[in-house]
Structure 1
């Protein structure tokens, strides 16, 4: 699904139309973005650093005003309805800020006390459950000033989990986490989605999309380049026929005669876009041409290659 001006699907918890943000001097940080997040999805908001992801998220939550366009959260207009909507939304935006000389648990209790919709009778129990879910039970009494960046990131997620949320907005939730912590947060996101929470998570890590997300949108230089389900993206990746052989010239000519396009040769490999022929037809033609085959098969491009092709920019594939 590409950007359209169609009516949002019933129950879409997050929708934007023409969302735009210009800063002083005319700099356009976000340019006419149309987003639609399906209910119950884990939606990856993907793009290189500086592509406009955080600015978009801040507008979604009413933290900054858009220059133009509309935002609907949980069926309500933002920021007009933020007092009704935001208690139903959990959020982690940019670097988490806490009282450094208070413990992690004390911070959670203080944040919850500031929420007029929170039940004070269950506050301590809910704090304990949230800390356990993010793996900070053993550090609950430790001062936040002694927390690592990764621990602070987990604590920020715990704040968002103090109450059941219909929508969870996470801006780079694995930032600062070690590989083990990253895996734990991924499992946490999957568990929350399994409970019916819609997750909207921004990231510049392709692994987040490939391993966790059901849907994705790609930002580049403030523009929304593409949005669809991850399954649709994978289905559109055209396989490449790859032949490893010392007979590059003969192999290339043979594949060309069968309609293989975009042929490329490197070292002892020739590859190209496969046509609609059974793979055994290619193998038989190469054998008939006396091509010595050291390796042969179809390789599907990765999501990384697809996103780089869409944006012309690199992504971080670490973790």
Structure 2
């Protein structure tokens, strides 16, 4: 099996005519960490709900682990771990007891080893010390961890995570990222939806970019970033003069970032020059005009650059 998830023309239109997902063609390779990227409201969660058989598509098809969904939900879902729109927890039960209930609901789970599995899952997400605490007293980040623990009670061929670092502090986010890398190294395919560009770029091998319910592109992260042009960067204490000169030379997209950068001072960025203009000529022109150039070059394009090039806009890129 080369594709763990595959959709063709997958569409969801809600009552009133709202088109949430429009003709989606996804291919998620086995063994990948696949980032499903898009602003809030772009159709990511609706897609996941269709893949997991929670809602019916209006049209199109979806297969998960080689089986059609939602028709094969009974055979597919026991092989999938999922955390969608935050965990559903019993607030009056402890974290441990919540996991015991989740495990008991799995017809494939061996009751004889249940306590051991629950303890291992709690330890894996860093909740052993809070296992006896009632879930209603958990913070948002702790609830997110507990939901992830529930998804990890059994070995899974596919792990589906919808905004997995939601509510976590920076340390918690790093721990969850490390856990996802560990699971991927063990051979689990991870399908991870997020609106955080930094998260996708750090974790994922492949990415799909969504906007307003439509798929804009998909493929390896490195290839997507490579399609975008990098930014020309000039480190100089003479930012205003450098910017004016670059504009006069026809360089587009000139912006100034003042502030302390050691001896370099501020920074001027711009779109790389087109054909017929050499970077060395721009550097020479700056020096000839007396601009003190401390650093000069074209920075590698990032996933953010690629997203902006595709959509013409940006969104939350915090990590």
> Is structure 2 residue 4 aligned with structure 1 residue 13?
yes
> Is structure 2 residue 16 aligned with structure 1 residue 25?
yes
- Pick which of 228-237 and 34-43 moved more: 228-237
1:190-229 Cα shifts (integer Å, max 9, x gaps): 0000100000011111111111111111111111111111
CA contact (8 A) 2:36 2:192 kept: yes
> Is structure 2 residue 124 aligned with structure 1 residue 133?
yes
Q: Could you say what secondary structure the match of 1:309 adopts?
A: helix
Match in the other structure for 2:252: 262
Cα distance, 1:150–1:69 mapped onto 2, change above 3 Å: same
Match in the other structure for 2:140: 149
Cα distance, 1:278–1:67 mapped onto 2, change above 3 Å: same
Cα distance, 1:265–1:25 mapped onto 2, change above 3 Å: closer
TM-score, reference length from structure 2: 0.88
> Is structure 2 residue 36 aligned with structure 1 residue 37?
no
> Is structure 2 residue 210 aligned with structure 1 residue 219?
yes
1:236-276 Cα shifts (integer Å, max 9, x gaps): 221233345525555555x55xxxx5363658847332347
Match in the other structure for 1:117: 108
Match in the other structure for 1:3: none
- Pick which of 225-234 and 278-287 moved more: 278-287
Cα distance, 1:163–1:249 mapped onto 2, change above 3 Å: closer
CA contact (8 A) 1:239 1:274 kept: no
Unaligned runs of 5+ in 1: 1-9
1:7-66 Cα shifts (integer Å, max 9, x gaps): xxx421001110000111111111001101111111111111111110100000000000
CA contact (8 A) 1:250 1:291 kept: no
CA distance in 2, matches of 1:247, 1:100: 60
CA contact (8 A) 1:149 1:176 kept: yes
Alignment RMSD: 2.2
> Is structure 2 residue 204 aligned with structure 1 residue 205?
no
Cα distance, 1:215–1:290 mapped onto 2, change above 3 Å: same
Aligned residues: 304
TM-score, reference length from structure 1: 0.88
Select the residue among 47, 67, 72 that pairs with 1:81. Answer: 72
CA contact (8 A) 1:242 1:298 kept: yes
- Pick which of 61-70 and 293-302 moved more: 293-302
Unaligned runs of 5+ in 2: 258-266
Match in the other structure for 1:274: 273
Match in the other structure for 1:294: 293
Match in the other structure for 1:194: 185
Cα distance, 1:162–1:239 mapped onto 2, change above 3 Å: same
